Amino acid sequence: MRYTQYLLPTLKENPADAEVISHQLMMRAGMIRKVAAGIYNYMPFGLRSIRKMEQIVREEMDRAGAIECLMPMANPAELWQESGRWEKYGKELLRFKDRKETEFCMGPTHEEVITDIVRNTVKSYRQLPLNLYQIQTKFRDEIRPRFGLMRGREFIMKDAYSFDTDDAGADKAYDRMYQAYRRIFQRCGLKFRAVEADSGAIGGSFSHEFMVLAESGEDAIVSCDACEYAANVEKAELIYRNQLTPVATAELQKVDTPAQKSIEEVAAFLKLKPSQLVKTLIIQTSADEVLAVLLRGDRELNEIKLANLLGVDWALMAEDAVVQKTTGAPTGFAGPIGLNIRVIADREVRGMADFVIGGNAVDVHYTGASLGRDFEVGQFADIRQAVGGDPCPRCDCGKLESWRGIEVGHVFKLGTKYSEAMNATVLDDSGKARTLVMGCYGIGIGRTVAAAIEQNHDENGIIWPLALAPYQVLVSMVNPKDDAVREAAEQLYRQLGELGIEVLLDDRDERPGIKFKDADLIGLPLRLTVGARNLKEGKVELTQRASGEMSLLELGEAATRVRQLVAEALDAD
């Protein structure tokens, strides 16, 4: 492609509304343009990356035995009513009516439609197992779209759905997808972790998230430094081996803590560490219960673990008014003594004694408190957030390290949630109807490209992994008005094209500075610079974007050298 005939609108300055690096760089490199909140045009240069990502996904899905299909964006309400999600999904589901007033939604995911396909076309266990996938534009009317392609409302996703007659088959399908996902993200050249995850609203029995490691990631994950264990902190289990029951040595004592509300304030005021306090959180649940939760002072509650433990949809910190009513004190002074609601303590608290708790009165705390003697706890459970340094729940020697990650893929074992609701069954070998066991597997295409940039950039621009680069090499003619330079660059462009290399020729009549800045910004892995100075010696310059490494090549050898480098990089995957 010739730059002068292309549309590659680069920007010198960052758009004001772009917060994260990948969004800024995708805008500046002319990959995307915003149409509305969370809705983007894929400009030619950006689309090439998207297509490459799709192709990698397609190849690996096919290799894993999945079959491509394409389902509609517009879904009839009927199917969603059948699964019960028409009511449950909430405002994120964009609903509309056709001219006959029939209700539809834009598909945010396609479990209903795929289940409808399979129940209508698959009747016998002999047609199974089956794994169908599509690469499709989804729409989720997010409350707060942000970060460009990282969290759009309209976005391209690969979603696959597996169907089996039994659990064992479903587990195999899950494992195949898990392995395929590993290959996909490896081929993209990304640093990632597959982590155990909470299966969330989509439901199902277990799931893994694929996280691209990046500082700007929205998710916190932990992984063991000794074994394979890795999990989203929302899910990460904590373990207390050989936990000792400590002996109380201190007397319970009421102390004045004037206006000392937060854990940090109270700890500083009493000249103690936050870990010597026990905090009491008043929690409200979707089942309309108010209860108290005890955690070591420096720990965070994991609301998802708590909600799962209680079997409720959500469990959140209660509003101030509820706290006041329940404890008789404003927030900041809650304590377990004298509360007449259910008390659940984090298991870590069982190993504590002589700690500080709130006094359930303004400006009052207790020191020297201990379990059993001063108050009773109804239940001990794992309800806190894991942090770096916690022991690994799987192996004996490991410690957890913490990371930030961008969720680019998610595999779920769904079980029979949808097949049961929508009556998707096949006849087994004894002629009995069996409910299908399903799995679903998503990859955010645009998000993965954004994550790749998030992980591969410097202050000058993008540093494309070869597998996702819109073009593999840039041929830059320093001065197109110099006939020798122009001819040499044209010759390279032709040769590279003939060798099957994806090449962009910068034939613009611009100053070298502009061309080099743009080259760094758009970040193609290789750059051949053709300038009068080196050409006099019959040489051109090859620059590797990632390392900055420069070398001079004979004009005649440059094309084959580039092909060799491209082939090596792609083979390495």
Partner RNA sequence: CGGAGCGUAGCGCAGUCUGGUAGCGCACCUGGUUUGGGACCAGGGUGUCGGAGGUUCGAAUCCUCUCGCUCCGACCA
Please check whether residue 234 is in contact with residue 444, taking contact to mean a CB–CB distance below 8 angstroms: no
Give the Cα separation of 503 and 487 in Å (integer). 16
Considering the complex, state which of residue 99 and residue 144 has its C-beta at the smaller distance from RNA.
144
The two tokens of residue 258 are 């004037």
Closest distance between RNA and the C-beta of residue 208, in Å?
A: 10
Closest distance between RNA and the C-beta of residue 200, in Å?
A: 4
Distances (CA, A) of 98 to 76, 101, 491, 509: 10, 5, 56, 52
Q: Is the dihedral of CA 244, 341, 317, 382 positive or negative?
A: positive
- Of 274, 275, 292, nearest in space to 283 by CA: 292
Distances (CA, A) of 226 to 265, 392, 399: 37, 8, 7
Closest distance between RNA and the C-beta of residue 272, in Å?
A: 28
Considering the complex, state which of residue 172 and residue 404 has its C-beta at the smaller distance from RNA.
404
Q: Return the bridge partners of 130, or none.
A: 163
Place of tokens 């959180």: 281
Considering the complex, state which of residue 317 and residue 421 has its C-beta at the smaller distance from RNA.
317
Considering the complex, state which of residue 14 and residue 276 has its C-beta at the smaller distance from RNA.
14
- Of 156, 157, 152, nearest in space to 35 by CA: 152
Considering the complex, state which of residue 12 and residue 100 has its C-beta at the smaller distance from RNA.
12
Considering the complex, state which of residue 298 and residue 482 has its C-beta at the smaller distance from RNA.
482
Considering the complex, state which of residue 18 and residue 371 has its C-beta at the smaller distance from RNA.
18
Distances (CA, A) of 198 to 5, 23, 163, 207, 255: 49, 28, 22, 7, 41
The two tokens of residue 262 are 């937060």
Task: Could you list the beta-strand ranges (E) of 62-152.
Answer: 67-68, 74-76, 95-97, 103-106, 130-139
Closest distance between RNA and the C-beta of residue 324, in Å?
A: 19
Closest distance between RNA and the C-beta of residue 13, in Å?
A: 5
Closest distance between RNA and the C-beta of residue 512, in Å?
A: 3
Closest distance between RNA and the C-beta of residue 331, in Å?
A: 16
Place of tokens 């979707």: 286
Considering the complex, state which of residue 40 and residue 366 has its C-beta at the smaller distance from RNA.
40
Give the Cα separation of 243 and 346 in Å (integer). 13
Closest distance between RNA and the C-beta of residue 485, in Å?
A: 8
Q: According to DSSP H, which parts of 270-428 are helical?
A: 303-310, 320-327, 417-421
Give the Cα separation of 87 and 53 in Å (integer). 34
Give the footprint of RNA on this chain (CB under 7 A): 10-17, 19, 34, 36-38, 92, 140, 142-147, 149-153, 155, 157, 200-202, 209, 218-219, 303-304, 314, 407-410, 442-444, 446-447, 460, 478-479, 481, 509, 511-514, 516-521, 529-535, 541, 543
| Structure-derived torsion over alpha carbons of residues 193, 196, 201, 204, reported in degrees to the nearest 10 | 130
Closest distance between RNA and the C-beta of residue 217, in Å?
A: 9
- Of 5, 28, 15, nearest in space to 460 by CA: 28
Q: Is the peptide bond between 129 and the residue preceding it cis, with omega within 30 degrees of 0?
A: yes
Considering the complex, state which of residue 342 and residue 517 has its C-beta at the smaller distance from RNA.
517
Closest distance between RNA and the C-beta of residue 353, in Å?
A: 32
Give the Cα separation of 236 and 224 in Å (integer). 11
Considering the complex, state which of residue 207 and residue 257 has its C-beta at the smaller distance from RNA.
207
Considering the complex, state which of residue 399 and residue 561 has its C-beta at the smaller distance from RNA.
561
Closest distance between RNA and the C-beta of residue 230, in Å?
A: 15
